[in-house]
Structure 1
């Protein structure tokens, strides 16, 4: 478990290495989305590398000793976490190795390489690539960066919650996308610590209801298959630390379809000029579809967690 002081320490630690992203008010054009009094968007799509993942990776990086750093970094990710770790390696001028599933588009590999990372393809899915990354960490003494179950990574992501409530302390409800659960674990811990009555709603794809099913079962479950095309929201299983935090801090999880996320990404692009990937549009999808309901007196914040061109295509 993590506490508010862990997130506050992370905020001080990463301040000079990440962007304090904008919190913009979208109240004048909120009508298709919600009946809330006010609507705010936290634009983590403008974060370094295009997503919130840089926060957790940098917090983990800055918690390592020089002796540990000298061994280099390793993780498995074909998406935003890999870019965050690649950025961390670039910052520290140490090698970062990213294991990718063989299905990862080459453009993602090239983006990782542009940050100086070494890319290795291993396995058909993330779980197999991650197994290879863990083996490399053990055999070569590399520092392994878990994408969602590392307390330092969770604390880094939680700095978003601090920023939101520092800028708009009156917010009543936060909507946060869920992949493995690291983002919502950190954000909900920060939010509930500062404002115990705040409502936190998680959003998962219909085709990857990992935490939704784990909450129903009361334990971490592994999905037999993934059918969503939102790859950054599609782990087959989460971890006990994330489930425990979500059980305590998250009011509900709603499920949205890929088409609802695409429609939300289009809304972000055509109404706000914001280019978001499917995961980045998930919180908006929950509002636009009516699956997350709001009251006329509420002040709502939706987290746009990742950049992409899904609303432009």
Structure 2
């Protein structure tokens, strides 16, 4: 593992650049898990992610002549913003290669920091290959997002802060993509508090590190697909794999549905906007992916908050449907005055709030003189929705839910 002195040096370099983010007690998560849960709020870090730490530490260790040539990185977004921020600090050129599906928020964040953004490839690994060739052709210094000891040392400063704030945590849960974050955090904890359990969380749609960890050899995957773009890494990096084998105790998987649930939970219950990668650790806790002893102290690293607003909107909408707070149905009415009013009055008497109504008078399946009405409602739970269904049927409405 990386020597502790390297992390201490990185912490000094980051003074005045990165924030010492809050390690906040999470009462609702604690109650659910019957333990003491704390969340490390790196979603509130400068640039919205922990990645600033590693990027700045690495660039600060380059020689002046190396920096003068400029830097390049491949990233799904957070490392990109960290590199762009650091390059702007030093007044040097930065080029960022990002997968084509990178959320617009992260692309704009890079451009606003003065870096050039190139969109290429379906995932991080394809963007990485392109960036490596581009770096050689243009003599730029490549800043690896996770397979670099100085980058890892920067990420590991999170652990130094957590120990400073709360030195009795018994389990630390960390998102795993390329593995730089957990390599750094685990290295610090195993040297300072070696009995601390370190658990990694991967997305089920990007399972390479999970499979490799338990097979004790690198296992390749054909592709990745997950809403947690920050940990959507296909290939397992050899350096980080060995660091993880050396100091991580367990790796678990969560699927996209569980991640989405965690994003919505954090938004509603903790008042925190957290992207998929950061929410993965909460998903693992909520869905019992690892065991916790009663009254155990658990630290969850919320690695970033740069979630695309369109994705957040979809997650919220689907979450409201799953929790029976919204429902939609279609019904055919006689297309004459009063038909919609009677339906509206019925729903009003049931205290269901209509949020959207669509009309269709021209569908080929309709009898002349009829209209299809699609209604979207705000409701008060599963029992309320069942009351609405029964009332519709009792009043002669034949409907289909969507």
Both structures adopt the same fold (TM-score exceeding 0.5): yes
What SS does structure 1 have at the residue aligned with 2:69? coil
The 2-side partners of 1:77 and 1:29 are apart by: 31
Residue in structure 1 matched with residue 267 of structure 2 by the alignment: 269
Secondary structure, counterpart of 1:184 in structure 2 = helix
Count of aligned residue pairs for this structure pair: 311
- Measure the CA separation in 1 of the matches of 2:43 and 2:190: 24
Instruction: Select which of 157, 160, 163 maps to 2:158.
Output: 160
Q: Which runs of 5+ in 1 are unaligned?
A: none
Q: Where has structure 1 moved over 6 Å in runs of 4 or more? A: none
- The answer to whether the Cα contact below 8 Å between 1:269 and 1:312 also exists between their aligned partners in 2 is no
Q: 1:62 aligns with which of 47, 60, 63?
A: 60
Asked if 2 retains the 8 angstrom alpha-carbon contact of 1:21 and 1:42, the reply is yes
Please, which moves more after superposition, 119-128 or 157-166? 119-128
Tell me if structure 2 keeps the 8 A contact 1:226–1:234.
yes
- Give 3-state SS (helix, strand or coil) of 1:155's partner: helix
The answer to whether the 8 Å contact 1:275/1:312 transfers is no
Q: What is residue 92 of structure 1 aligned with on the other side? A: 90
Contact 2:28/2:269, CA 8 A, preserved across alignment: no
Deviation at 1:190, TM superposition (A): 0.7
Equivalent position SS for 2:107: helix
Q: What does residue range 81-230 of structure 1 map to in structure 2 within 5 Å? A: 81-230=79-228
Once the two structures are superposed, residues 262-308 of structure 1 have per-residue CA deviations (whole angstroms, 9 ceiling, x without a partner) of 11111111111100111111111111001122111411111111103
Matches of 2:316 and 2:299, distance apart in 1: 23
Give the drift of 1:28: 5.6
Instruction: Spell out, residue by residue over 1:159-196, the C-alpha distance to the aligned partner (whole angstroms, 9 max, x if none).
Output: 00110011001111100010110100001111111101
Distance 1:113 1:8, change over 3 A: same
What is the rounded CA distance, in whole Å, between the counterparts of 1:294 and 1:149 in structure 2? 31
Q: 2:34 aligns to what?
A: 35
Counterpart in the other structure of 1:16: 16
Q: Using the alignment, how far apart are the partners of 1:41 and 1:165 within structure 2?
A: 13
> Structure 2 matches for 1:63-82, cutoff 5 A?
63-82=61-80
The offset of 1:29, in angstroms, is: 5.1
Task: Please give the residue correspondences for 1:298-309 in structure 2 after superposition, counting only pairs within 5 Å.
Answer: 298-307=296-305, 308=307
TM-score, normalisation: structure 2: 0.75
Give a deviation string over 1:27-57, Cα, whole Å, max 9, x none: 365222x121x11110000011111000000
Greater relative contact order (Cα < 8 A, sep 6+): 1
Give the direction of change, closer, same or farther, for the CA distance of 1:95–1:205 in structure 2 (3 Å limit). Answer: same
Give the alignment's TM-score, normalised by structure 1. Answer: 0.95
CA distance in 2 between partners of 1:265 and 1:103 (Å) = 20
Structure 2 counterpart SS, 1:30:
helix
Larger Rg: 2
> Matches of 1:102 and 1:205 in 2, distance apart?
20
